[in-house]
Amino acid sequence: MNWHDLFNAIALLLIFEGLLPFASPTSIKKVYKTMVETPESSLRLMGLASIVAGLVLLYIV
């Protein structure tokens, strides 16, 4: 892996993160409101699941 790959990955992350707020700001507000009301333990579990899924995907690719 080189720096070019890392910057490409960060660029794609920013693009994907910006898609929902750009396409549907009302929906993202509802999602954020739901996140604020979700217990921290559930958010941590979702974060851990996301990390594990990402690691598995990286390993496969």
d(CA 16, CA 36): 21
Please tell me the total count of domains within the chain: 1
d(CA 61, CA 53): 12
Per-residue pLDDT tens for 40-61?
Answer: 999 999 999 999 999 999 899 8
27 close to 20: Cβ distance less than 8 angstroms: yes
pLDDT value of position 49? 96
Per-residue pLDDT tens for 3-42?
Answer: 999 999 999 999 999 999 999 999 999 999 999 999 999 9
pTM of this structure: 0.69
Range of the domain at 18: 3-60
Place of tokens 């217990």: 39
